A = this chain, B = another copy of it.
């Protein structure tokens, strides 16, 4: 599957021949977090994303009922082209499904939000180690003491991911990610975890505990779990998301993403 085109992968996903995480698929193409909710809550959520661009960088938003993201996948069908979806009712996970045809109505609005896959690939290509990928683990994530700017019914803390970077490469890592405004951008914080209210760097809130080697500095980026927590707090009647790691693969290249 690794060498297939984006459209071939979408088709394989629709035919349920690929129901696994999308990491490593369609190299060079941006992958996105998916949030789908009723139009009633769509204005508040869009405003929340705009007010908190680092954790919630908008790649594309559909009209109500629109199944093809106009920028990120004009030939896609968002009801079938994600390998696994989660259905939330009033903030609680109800089930995981392979397609959302029975949930998607003319009233549902699809948001695609940037994710850190994009800049992690670039970091590694430029010689900066990404520990959790080396160790085949999930990135360590922490709930911080900073609050997002609220919008309507949505509010919540800023959640960050952390990557330990050798001290002499920290500036380079920061500079590379600064260019990825649509993939969380520059670090939120470099160094002391306590500045973000993180007491114990080993006590992660999500993901796996990190291995930090001597001479490495913890670098914190805004994380896509932030909007998920705001969605859980607000608890709209129905929210559909991708399942963790099972992203929507866009037809936007990583290079094009910086031009959006």
Contact = CB atoms under 8 A, between A and B. Distances in A.
Size category, A interface: 10 to 19
Interface in A140-169: 149, 151-152
Interface in A8-60: 39, 42-44, 46-47, 50-51, 58
Contacts of A44: 63
Given A63-B151, A70-B149, A152-B63, A50 B58 contact: yes
A95 B51 CA distance: 33
A245 interface: no
B61 A47 contact: yes
A170 interface: no
A236 interface: no
Contact of A42 (B43, B70, B109): B43
A47 B47 contact: no
Nearest to A64: B152
A43 B50 contact: no
Contacts of A58: 50
